[in-house]
């Protein structure tokens, strides 16, 4: 997400500054004509069939105006293209004020896993007085549409992280700005991304905390917000005794929060990592990179797609568009095991997907953060295979892993980052239906003595934690391709005997 942001006007209060600007100013002054000249030109251009109203519209069309709001320390935000007035974003909507959105930064650490401490970008002393440790990585978790920063899944993600590492876990709570109509929330996400970037800038300027220690994790809309922050925060401006670089930060965004992470990442050069958890489709798929999450928003961007079916008619809330260096499509990315669409979910509009029984309505969409949650404690249970399509993957055309290996979907995906410089690589895997989603893929090769045999094949796995049950994996008549001696072993292939 390349930045189109510019620094806010100095001296502005926290009130909104709205200013109209004319598109004609973008044209050269040589093209300017006086009102009298325009009137004459309009009269000569009007055909006999033109009505007075059409004549007026033709004269004022070159002066159609957009609007812009500016907030101190956050910059300016307009409603013109590509943010509004396009086929994908037809409505021109400005984001709310920071005060109305009410973003909070809730810090959990290994020392305070159950109670958060509030950090204020406007008051660095709140960081100084907290348990924030500059020698640790920082992971920001950014929720999506109609969600909140103190939701159970967000806190559980922090607690799982504390089991495997010492880390600063910051939950970005922008529930006031997300619990509105979807189109308004999508635009509010731009301000939230700028606020995340502002926090990263404070960590950089006050503590020299490098972007390479930052990981942004955004769900749905939050993923796109995280990306935007990367390009809007300047690099390190001064060094202090704390030496905390933005490169130690990880942004995590779910749903709409995935785009929030993208927004933040685009404002923070040198940001280490953004994880997009099923980035939302509506108002973002097919837009320019400056609007949505994209690989330029961080040094490493990984995306998990779990609800990528088209919004119409299948009510898929996530996007099928690849937006990272590594894009994971578990179970094909559209229908997750254990989730079933039904008539009720088909009639729920986008603004209401989180109302009431959200697990019932948005099961596929929520699986993205559930997979990530489990992956933290299961480092090798989500191996994903490079493949052109899920159909090819199901046909075993992409097994086993290539020479460079296979990445793990979820928390440990960054261990694969240095093995390739390519962007938008597609990976597939399968998961279980409920908790204990992790699955392992095995290849079974069997040889046959003789030309034919009839029976079935069952497999049981043995390990240091016990044995599995027997699984029936094959039931055919078996035959080899050629007639050979009985003591010759051949690769087994299925065949049908009349």
Omega prior to 449 cis, within 30 of 0: no
53 C-beta neighbours (distance < 10 Å), count: 8
Between CA 380 and CA 389, with CA 383 as vertex, the angle to 5 degrees is 170
If DSSP codes are grouped into helix, strand and coil, which group holds residue 20? strand
> Is 228 annotated in some ligand binding site?
no
Residue 292 annotated as binding site: yes
Structure tokens at 119: 């950090």
For residue 409, give both structure tokens.
Answer: 């979907």
Contact 221, 189 (CB under 8 A): yes
- Structure tokens, 444: 């079974």
Active-site residue, 28 included: no
Residue 294 known to bind ligand: yes
79, 278, 299, 307: which is the annotated catalytic residue?
A: 278
Q: Is the peptide bond before 283 cis (omega within 30 degrees of 0)?
A: no
For residue 73, indicate whether it is catalytic: no
Residue 178 in tokens: 């997300």
Respond yes or no: is residue 365 known to be catalytic: yes
Tell me how far apart the alpha carbons of residues 439 and 375 are, in angstroms, rounded to a whole number.
Answer: 11
Task: Choose the catalytic residue: 365, 368, 375, 480.
Answer: 365
Identified catalytic residue from 3, 178, 208, 220: 220
Rounded-to-integer distance, Cα 444 and Cα 407, Å: 22
- In this structure, the strands spanning 493-495 and 471-479 are antiparallel
For 466, phi then psi, to 5°, come to 115, -170
Which residues make beta-bridge pairs with 77? 69
* 65 CA to centre of own chain: 32
Is residue 333 within 8 Å of 243, Cβ to Cβ? Answer: no
Q: What is the rounded CA–CA span in Å between residue 104 and residue 90?
A: 30
Helix (H, G, I), strand (E, B) or coil at 53: helix
* Annotation: binding site for Ca(2+): 289, 292, 294, 297
* Binding site residue list: 289, 292, 294, 297
- Catalytic positions, please? 220, 278, 365
């Amino acid at each position: 997400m390349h930045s189109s942001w510019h620094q806010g006007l100095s001296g502005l209060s926290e009130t909104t500054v709205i200013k109209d600007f004319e598109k004609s100013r973008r044209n050269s002054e040589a093209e300017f004509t006086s009102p009298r000249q325009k009137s004459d030109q309009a009269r000569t251009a009007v055909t006999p069939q033109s009505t007075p109203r059409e004549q007026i519209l033709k004269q004022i069309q070159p002066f159609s105006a957009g609007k812009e709001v500016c907030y101190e320390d956050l910059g300016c935000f307009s409603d013109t293209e590509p943010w509004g007035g396009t086929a994908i974003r037809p409505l021109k909507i400005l984001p709310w004020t920071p005060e109305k959105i009410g973003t909070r930064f809730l810090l959990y650490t290994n020392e305070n896993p159950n109670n958060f401490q509030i950090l204020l970008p406007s008051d660095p002393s709140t960081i100084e007085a907290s348990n924030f440790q500059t020698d640790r990585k920082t992971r920001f978790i950014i929720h999506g549409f109609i969600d909140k920063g103190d939701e159970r899944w967000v806190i559980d993600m922090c607690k799982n992280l504390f089991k495997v590492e010492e880390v600063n876990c910051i939950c970005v709570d922008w529930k006031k700005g997300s619990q509105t109509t979807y189109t308004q929330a999508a635009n509010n996400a731009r301000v939230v991304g700028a606020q995340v970037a502002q926090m990263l800038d404070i960590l950089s300027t006050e503590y020299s905390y490098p972007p390479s220690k930052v990981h942004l994790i955004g769900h749905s809309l939050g993923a796109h917000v995280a990306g935007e922050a990367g390009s809007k925060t300047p690099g390190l401006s001064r060094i202090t005794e704390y030496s905390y670089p933005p490169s130690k930060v990880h942004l995590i965004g779910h749903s709409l929060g995935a785009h929030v992470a993208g927004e933040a990442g685009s404002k923070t050069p040198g940001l280490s990592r953004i994880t997009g958890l099923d980035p939302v489709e509506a108002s973002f798929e097919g837009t320019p990179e400056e609007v949505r999450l994209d690989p330029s928003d961080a040094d490493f961007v990984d995306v998990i797609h779990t609800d990528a079916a088209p919004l119409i008619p299948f009510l898929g809330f996530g996007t099928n568009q690849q937006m990272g260096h590594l894009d994971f499509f578990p179970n094909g990315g559209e229908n997750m095991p254990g989730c079933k669409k039904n008539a009720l979910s088909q009639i729920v509009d986008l603004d209401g997907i989180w109302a009431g029984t959200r697990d019932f309505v948005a099961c596929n969409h929520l699986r993205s953060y559930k997979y990530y949650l489990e992956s933290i404690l299961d480092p090798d249970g989500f191996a994903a295979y490079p493949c052109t399509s899920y159909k090819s993957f199901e046909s075993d055309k992409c097994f086993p892993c290539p020479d460079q290996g296979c990445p793990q979907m979820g928390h440990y995906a960054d261990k694969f980052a240095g093995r390739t410089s390519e962007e938008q690589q597609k990976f597939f895997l399968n998961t279980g239906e409920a908790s204990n989603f992790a699955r392992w893929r095995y290849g079974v090769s069997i040889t046959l003595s003789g030309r034919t045999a009839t029976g079935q094949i069952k497999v049981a796995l043995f390990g240091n934690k016990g044995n599995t049950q027997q699984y029936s994996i094959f039931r055919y008549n078996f035959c080899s391709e050629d007639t050979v001696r009985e003591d010759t072993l051949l690769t087994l292939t299925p065949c049908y005997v009349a």
